[in-house]
């Protein structure tokens, strides 16, 4: 045995993890594997022991029809079963091969049909499986605790199969596994409670356990049987045996088993939420072949156990959550009622805050203020830790070994080896952190975990010792429970809701204040504007008879003043309308309107503007149409849209206004022959102050925004489309009054 550098060791470990266990090119010798092309029903590859099991024929070779290997009748029966039925229902398919009965196990993968044949020992006495399995499943479903559930499982499987040891092995967060239940004969070593290092089961092996419910090795001292030919004839690639029961396993794993004193093993996967939760691991000191029927029963037990584990863990989690509900309600109310920041409510209830997460310390950070309760790091250390917490992607962060992910925590691991924390999505520093102290403890391993890195020559070897090895653990705290995580996640949700409610109230107050300001300003300006208009009219009458140059200049100035006053009055009206629309308080008084009369009134008022530019303006609509609309407000919309069309349409252009029935609405369309609106500007036409983007200095920039608000208040829609160089189209809908 030689020593080597840590870098070389890590490289060898990676090579071990990358071992091609899916494509070993060989099988275990207790059965035969054939791969079939279903299009031609020919054998593509066969294990080298196939001809011996199938009758000793020397002329069997890949590429021949399946009927040559199994006989015409059995080949036809298999083909018919595969075509008609589900593979899950077919397995196992009983076939007579080479003078003996076999269990035929069939699955599809990677474009091939896999047929695995295992000889059946007709003389072997099997227990009454149906009765035994039914009783076991009833017992599993009646278990009230996880410990009882585990105990039933390991004892029932050992009774069924006869293995020396059956244990449940649960994976931990760091990848290590712990034996949490065991049933064994007195002659074997007890593993209950021991930990096994993550390197014992590499990641790719765990993935195969996740994909396959069951894995069996009848004799770890077997000699692998190669596939013939070695590569797939159709692709030239190695055969992927991910789902093959007979797949040969890593020689390192076989050596590991023998070092452990085990010649035969069976593993049943335990899944939770499609993740590998753990394994039921069976071991025997002597070779042991478990027939398919027994394996299927054990697989069923594993599947039910997986479901029951999830169900009982959920019951436990629910109990833990319910125990926190009253505290959560109290703290949520405190945050909702607190003055200032929502966290202020937590600061005022420190005992409840600590109890909620069963922590010995807590910190609440509001910008530069750090509030500490119980046993905590210093304020400066908490602020640095908060900076790291805010960089993480998870909304709630938890760890029971802080220094492993945040090395600076080694300075205060005595008081804060575990941390549970959350922040709110604010631009300022904020957060709530709970702390748990370091618990110096001993972990009992099944052998020294570092001994898994044994180098012989240039090859890694599995460790040889599985004697209990004690390790002192530092820098870790008691684990945070599901209930703790739920409570903190729920508290964060309550904090978010309270914070958002405050933001909404602040925005509502700001809108209300703005509305009041607009109303006051509008009211206070109307009177002086009215006075200005009256005085302008009086001055024009006084100087009407005077034709001197000075009087003409004065009259021109008065005209300018009147136009400016009218513009200011329109702006005030638009601001009031905008304020009402944004506040959702825009009111209308809809009533039935004869559309033809409405169009005629609009045409007579807008025609002079069109004639000034020699624009052809037409209004047309289906006869006898009535719309439900506020006359004044709808005229405001129509005059705004047609007025804009006149403004932007060049001389001698065309503008058409048409009305058609569309279901329960009347669609009014205004089409002009103007220059059109640029594509990048079109999405913004209904925004406030769009005139600035459009480069239009006249108007308030609120007309289209207000028009859209009026149309929406009627229950309709206002849209725009345009093509540069062709013109623009504005389309609005308004409710139709049904004819009697």
pLDDT tops 70 at residue 440 = no
Beta pairing class for 616-621 and 654-662: parallel
Examine the fold and report which residue of 56, 86, 119 is the final residue of a domain before the chain moves on: 119
And the tokens for 418? 């575990």
Residue at which a domain ends, from 102, 119, 136? 119
pLDDT reported for residue 559? 67
**Number of domains composing the chain:** 4
Per-residue model confidence as pLDDT tens digits over 595-619: 888 898 889 888 888 898 999 999 9
Per the domain annotation, does 715 fall within a domain? yes
Cβ-based neighbour number of residue 190 at 10 Å:
13
The answer to whether residues 94 and 77 touch, using CB atoms and an 8 Å cutoff, is no
Give domain status of residue 493, yes or no.
Answer: no
Instruction: Residue 560: give its domain's CATH number.
Output: 1.10.287
Least confident segment among 160-174, 243-257, 679-693: 679-693
Average pLDDT over residues 241-254: 93
Q: Note the pLDDT of residue 564.
A: 57
Task: Identify the CA nearest to 263 among candidates 286, 240, 236, 229.
Answer: 286
Q: Are residues 35 and 90 in the same domain?
A: yes
**What CA–CA distance (Å, rounded) separates 624 from 537?**
44
**Same-domain pairing of 52 and 70:** yes
Give the pLDDT of residue 3. 40
User: What tokens does 631 get?
Assistant: 């006359």
Number of other residues whose CB lies within 10 A of the CB of residue 116: 26
My answer on whether 385 and 467 are in the same domain is yes
- Report the CATH number at residue 607: 3.30.565.10
137 located within any domain = no
- The predicted pLDDT at position 56 comes to 63
Q: 720: which residues sit within 8 A by CB, 6+ positions away?
A: 677, 682, 685, 686, 728, 729, 730, 731
Same structural domain for residues 596 and 561?
no
Whether the predicted pLDDT of 474 surpasses 60: yes
- β-strands 264-272, 468-473 pairing: unpaired
Side-by-side strand order, sheet with 26-27: 26-27, 225-228, 42-47, 32-37, 112-119, 100-109, 93-97
Domain range enclosing 31:
26-119
More confident residue, 166 or 637: 166
Are 719 and 625 part of one and the same domain?
yes
Contacts of 540 (CB under 8 A, 6+ apart): 555, 558
Q: pLDDT per residue over 658-696, tens digit each?
A: 999 999 999 999 999 999 998 888 888 888 666 544 445
| Closest CA relative to residue 260, chosen from 452, 544, 474, 39 | 452
pLDDT in tens, 379-388: 999 999 999 9
Query: Across residues 123-139, what is the average pLDDT?
Result: 76
Domain end call among 119, 146, 163: 119
Q: What is the mean pLDDT of residues 689-712?
A: 65
H helical segments located in 175-250: 203-211
Give the model confidence (pLDDT) of 324-351 as tens digits: 888 999 998 998 888 878 899 999 999 9
- pLDDT score, position 195: 76
Q: Quickly state the pLDDT bin for 185 (edges 50, 70, 90).
A: very high
Q: Give the range among 40-54, 119-133, 636-650, 726-740 with minimum mean pLDDT.
A: 119-133
Does the residue 551 lie in any domain? yes
pLDDT for 441: 58
The answer as to whether 626 is a domain residue is yes
Residue 371, pLDDT above cutoff 90: yes
Residues 465 and 355 in one domain: yes
Q: Is residue 433 assigned to a domain?
A: yes
pLDDT of residue 361: 95
In a domain, 489, yes or no: no
Residue with tokens 């594997």, as numbered in its chain: 33
Q: Where residue 389 falls among pLDDT bands split at 50, 70, 90?
A: very high
Interval 541-559 mean pLDDT: 69
Q: What is the mean pLDDT of residues 357-382?
A: 94
On whether the CB atoms of residues 280 and 209 are closer than 8 A, the answer is: no
Q: Are residues 674 and 722 in the same domain?
A: yes
Do 555 and 627 belong together in one domain? Answer: no
Residue in the structure block whose two tokens are 């390790």: 471
Nearest to 602 by CA among 674, 654, 655: 655
Radius of gyration of the chain (CA): 42
187: which DSSP letter?
Answer: T
The answer to whether position 194 is within a domain reads no
| Residue spans of beta strands (DSSP E) within 395-494 | 396-399, 418-422, 430-436, 441-446, 454-456, 459-461, 468-473
Query: What CATH number is given to the structural domain containing 46?
Result: 3.30.450.20
d(CA 195, CA 470): 10
Looking at residue 518, the DSSP 8-state letter turns out to be H
- 520 and 388, same structural domain? no
Tell me which range, 131-135, 215-219, 465-469, is most confidently predicted by mean pLDDT.
215-219
Q: Do 618 and 690 fall within a single domain?
A: yes
Residues 689 and 561 in one domain: no
Q: Whose CA is closest to 420, among 381, 394, 454, 441?
A: 394
358 and 385 belong to one structural domain: yes
* Residue 645 CB-density burial (10 A; 0-12 exposed, 13-18 middle, 19+ buried): buried
The 3-state DSSP class for residue 218 equals coil
**CA–CA separation, 698 vs 365, rounded Å?**
52
Give Dmax over CA atoms of the chain in angstroms. 135
């Amino acid at each position: 045995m030689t020593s080597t550098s840590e870098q070389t060791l890590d490289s060898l470990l990676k090579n071990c993890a990358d071992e091609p266990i899916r494509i070993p090119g060989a099988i275990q010798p207790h059965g035969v594997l054939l791969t079939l092309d279903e299009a031609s029903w020919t054998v593509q590859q066969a294990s080298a022991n196939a001809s011996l099991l199938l009758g000793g024929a020397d002329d069997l070779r890949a590429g021949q029809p399946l009927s040559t290997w199994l006989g015409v009748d059995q080949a036809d029966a298999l083909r018919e079963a595969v075509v008609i039925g589900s593979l899950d229902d077919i397995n196992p398919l009983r076939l007579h091969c080479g003078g003996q009965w076999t269990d035929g196990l069939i699955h599809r993968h990677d474009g091939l049909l896999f047929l695995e044949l295992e000889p059946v020992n007709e003389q072997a006495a099997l227990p009454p499986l149906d009765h035994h399995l039914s009783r076991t499943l009833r017992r599993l479903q009646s278990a009230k605790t996880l410990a009882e559930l585990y105990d039933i499982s390991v004892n029932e499987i050992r009774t069924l199969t006869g293995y020396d040891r059956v244990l449940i092995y649960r994976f931990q967060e760091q990848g290590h596994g712990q034996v949490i239940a065991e049933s064994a004969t007195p002659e074997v070593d007890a593993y209950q409670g021991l930990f096994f290092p993550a390197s014992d089961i590499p990641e790719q092996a765990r993935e195969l356990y996740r994909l396959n419910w069951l894995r069996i090795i009848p004799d770890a001292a077997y000699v692998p049987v190669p596939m013939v030919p070695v590569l797939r004839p159709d692709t030239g690639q190695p055969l992927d045996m991910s789902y093959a029961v007979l797949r040969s396993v890593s020689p390192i794993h076989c050596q590991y088993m023998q070092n452990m004193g085990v010649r035969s093993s069976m593993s049943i996967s335990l899944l939770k939420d499609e993740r590998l939760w753990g394994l039921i691991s069976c071991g025997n000191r002597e070779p042991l072949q478990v027939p398919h029927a027994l394996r299927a029963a054990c697989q069923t037990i594993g599947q039910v156990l997986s479901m029951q584990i999830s169900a009982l863990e959920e019951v436990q989690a629910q109990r833990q959550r319910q125990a926190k509900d009253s505290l959560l309600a109290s703290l949520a109310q405190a945050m909702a009622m607190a003055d200032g920041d929502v966290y202020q409510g937590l600061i005022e209830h420190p005992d409840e805050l600590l109890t909620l997460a069963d922590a010995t310390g807590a910190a609440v950070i509001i910008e530069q203020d750090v509030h500490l309760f119980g046993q905590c790091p210093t304020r400066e250390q908490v602020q640095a830790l908060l900076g790291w917490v805010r960089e993480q992607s998870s909304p709630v962060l938890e760890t029971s070994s802080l220094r492993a992910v945040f090395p600076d925590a080694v300075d205060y691991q005595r008081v804060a080896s575990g941390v549970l924390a959350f922040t709110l999505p604010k631009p300022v520093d904020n957060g709530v952190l709970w702390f748990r102290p370091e618990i110096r403890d001993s972990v009992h391993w099944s052998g020294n975990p570092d001994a898994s890195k044994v180098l012989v020559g240039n090859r890694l070897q599995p460790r040889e010792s599985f004697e209990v090895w004690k390790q002192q653990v530092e820098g870790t705290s008691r684990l945070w429970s599901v209930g703790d995580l739920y409570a903190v996640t729920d508290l964060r949700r309550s904090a978010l809701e309270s914070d958002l409610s405050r933001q909404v109230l602040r925005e509502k107050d700001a809108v209300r204040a703005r509305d009041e300001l607009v109303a006051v300003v509008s009211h206070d300006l109307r009177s002086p504007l009215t006075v200005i208009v009256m005085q302008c009219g009086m001055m024009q009458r006084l100087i009407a008879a005077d034709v001197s140059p000075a009087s003409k200049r004065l009259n021109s100035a008065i005209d300018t003043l009147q136009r400016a006053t009218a513009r200011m009055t329109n702006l005030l009206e638009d601001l009031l309308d905008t304020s009402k629309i944004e506040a959702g308080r825009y009111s209308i008084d809809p009533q039935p309107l004869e559309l033809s009369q409405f169009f005629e009134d609009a045409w007579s008022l807008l025609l002079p503007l069109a004639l000034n530019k020699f624009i052809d303006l037409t209004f047309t609509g289906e006869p006898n149409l009535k719309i439900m609309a506020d006359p004044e407000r709808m005229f405001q919309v129509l005059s705004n849209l047609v007025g804009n069309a006149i403004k932007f349409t060049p001389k001698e252009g065309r503008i058409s206004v048409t009305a058609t029935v569309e279901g329960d609405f009347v669609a009014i369309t205004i089409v002009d022959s103007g220059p059109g609106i640029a594509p990048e500007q079109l999405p913004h036409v209904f925004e406030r102050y769009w005139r600035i983007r459009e480069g239009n200095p006249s108007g308030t920039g609120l007309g289209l925004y207000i028009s859209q608000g009026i149309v929406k208040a009627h229950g309709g829609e206002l849209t725009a489309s345009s093509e540069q160089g062709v013109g623009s189209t504005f389309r609005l809908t308004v409710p139709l009054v049904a004819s009697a």
